[in-house]
Amino acid sequence: MSFLSRSVGTITLALLTVLMLGTTTATAQVNTIKDGWLVMKVHSEFINEDLLDGSNIDVDVKNGVVTLQGTVTSEAGRARAQELARKNDGVKNVVNQLRIAPAHDNRAERAMDKTKDKADKAADKTARAADKAEDKTAHAAKKTGRAIDDGWIKSKIYAQYMTEWNTVLDDSDIDVDVDNNVVTLNGTVKSPAAKAKAVSIAKATDGVKNVIDNLRVGSTR
């Protein structure tokens, strides 16, 4: 074999090695950001969907495979949630475990709370603030096409977290649970600043009565 042939072969092998390393690095980068980001992204797709009114959906993502759990109010809603999840870049598959169930209506509880507040003169200031928050919630519900319920609040919080992914909340692994407008945050964030931001966003979300912060600061890997 001539010197020229050996040189060409060496250069070709080197180029192939570089290309393979580049592809591996790009794939690794996608895998490191996609699961946590996809949870937020899929939830953000649910916010303005009329077919998902009254739903309460949990989204879990592992290695690009999305699992949907929780409830929707119709078969059409079940199919729509799957469709919305599947269309996102990075989603390899969707496992649809959603159940069809009637929407849980929190209006009776909120009305009772409002009545108690008005009956208590000492809490008159709180009652006025609650009325103002209720008006804001009703306006937001009309604007989005979905009622402000537990499911909407969950998806809304995740959508807001997604906008912070490239800043303080990057590489976070946050689980949002909502029960009767009370938000519980579990999981991990990378810094105290990220923890404070996650709690602040949840508290400022329309319809939220209280936030229980169980977030841990540390590695999310």
The full DSSP string for 76-131 is: HHHHHHHHHHHTSTT--EEEE--EE-PPP--HHHHHHHHHHHHH-GGGHHHHHHHH
pLDDT at 199: 98
pLDDT at 114: 52
pLDDT at 145: 63
- Name 12's Cβ contacts closer than 8 Å, sequence gap at least 6: none
What tokens does 45 get? 């797709």
Least Cα distance to 179 among 156, 212, 203 occurs for 212
| Cα separation, 86 vs 95, whole angstroms | 10
pLDDT in tens, the chain (221 residues): 554 444 444 444 444 444 444 433 333 344 444 698 999 999 999 999 999 999 999 999 999 999 999 999 999 999 999 999 999 999 999 999 999 999 865 554 555 455 445 555 455 555 555 555 555 554 444 444 688 999 999 999 999 999 999 899 988 899 999 999 999 999 999 999 999 999 999 999 999 999 999 999 987 55
pLDDT at 21: 43
- Name 192's Cβ contacts closer than 8 Å, sequence gap at least 6: 217
Q: What is the pTM of this model?
A: 0.69
pLDDT at 218: 87
pLDDT at 50: 93
Given CA atoms 187, 88, 29, 97 in this order, what sign does their dihedral have? positive
